[in-house]
Structure 1
Amino acid sequence: MEFAPGTLIVLVGPAGSGKTTYAAAFPDTWRVSLDAYRRLATDDAADQTATPTAAQIQNLLLDARLARGLTTIVDSTNVFAHVRAGLLARGRYYDRPITVVLFTTPRTLCEQRNAARDRRVPVDVIHAQDTSRPTREQLLAEGFTDIRLAPPTTAPLTVTHS
């Protein structure tokens, strides 16, 4: 997938859906990630008590990058409408193009991938994330206009960027 320079790219999908693998195909400076900031704050990316701190770091970096017109990928689940609303508002504030990349990976595959990880997300959390995952129609109703489906995650991932 190609994106216009300065685009805010919002990845949406449950844990194990392939978001981080997808984001890794782009320059690492483009990515903001709650997991990374939780790890930096606590030495444990899964420590949910660090989420408020991680969100502050993410928002600070988002503002810095968007103000400079830099392409930015939000590598978090973003399955909840209030989280997406905040990202949409931020992108609009800085007058940046905004693209959602929706991951439609089946829950069973997300759970299988999760089981193979060192850091596992509880299965009930994946279920809740999958249940909360929006449809394309919901994303349109929220105000997103550029909505793309992630490449199939069972095939090798090839992504181009400009």
Structure 2
Amino acid sequence: MLPLTPPGGSLITLIGAPGSGKSTFAAHYPDSWRVCLDTYRRLATDSEADQTGTGVAAQIQDLLVDARLNRGLITLVDSTNLAVPVRAGLVARARYWQRPALAVLFDVPLDIAQTQNRARSRVVPEHVVRDLHQQLPTPELLETEGFAAVHRVSDLALPARS
């Protein structure tokens, strides 16, 4: 059973700090659904952490989001998505293609995100995790931004990963 069963053609935007479980959540879904800024940054620069590749990685992500939404395919955006302009761009893309935009808010406590971050292969500096965690929007804000539905990860039943 999937933690969230989205309507066909949906844009699912994962929103949360590094280490909050976004990629683990995304792994419950078909790999073809997932667009991931870290992956495209690594392909452009040989390093997921190389922030100089973010611009080109974002262009690749946008192209893939448009290609999938145009075809009515479910698209899951796996990146922090904490900046308001980034979320606005995703909601605008969903509207353009007349697809529902869903948000999954990773409202995990900071100490859990930091613990999980330390266990990852690519550890983000703790001060960065803390700063990004402070940018978490409220569900109410996400609704005003145009998301058709907002789900808190703390409310979703997450199956064990096989």
TM-score when scaled to structure 2?
0.92
| C-alpha displacement of 1:140 | 1.5
How many corresponding residue pairs?
Answer: 157
Query: How far does the alpha carbon of each residue in 1:15-71 deviate from its partner, in whole angstroms, 9 at most, with x for none?
Result: 000000000100000000000101111121111110001001000101110111100
- Following TM superposition, the consecutive aligned residue runs of length 4 or more in structure 1 with deviations greater than 4 angstroms are none
> Secondary structure, in 3 states, of the residue corresponding to 2:134?
helix
Structure 2 residue 99 is the aligned partner of structure 1 residue 88? no
Q: Is residue 67 of structure 2 the alignment partner of residue 72 of structure 1?
A: no
User: What secondary structure sits across from 2:137 in the alignment?
Assistant: coil
The residue aligned with 1:107 is 110
SS across alignment from 1:56: helix
- Once structures 1 and 2 are overlaid, which stretch shifts more, 122-131 or 95-104? 122-131
CA distance in 1, matches of 2:54, 2:65: 16
Question: Structure 1 CA distance, aligned partners of 2:14 and 2:114?
Answer: 18
TM-score, normalised with respect to structure 1: 0.92
- Partner residue, 2:132: 129
Determine the structure 1 residue equivalent to 2:159. 158
| C-alpha contact (below 8 Å) 1:136/1:147 kept by paired residues | yes
CA RMSD of aligned residues (A): 1.6
Aligned to 1:147: 150
Of the three residues 44, 47, 50, the one matched with 2:50 is 47
Paired position in structure 2 for 1:61:
64
Cα offset, 1:152, TM superposition: 6.3
- Tell me if structure 2 keeps the 8 A contact 1:80–1:133: no
Deviations 1:105-149 (A, max 9, x none): 111111111112221111121111111110011112212230111
Residues 1:19 and 2:17 are matched in the alignment: no
Gaps of 5+ in 2: none
Identical-residue share of aligned pairs (%): 52
CA distance in 1, matches of 2:34, 2:148: 21
Q: Distance in 2 between matches of 1:16 and 1:83?
A: 19
Distance 1:107 1:151 in 2: 13
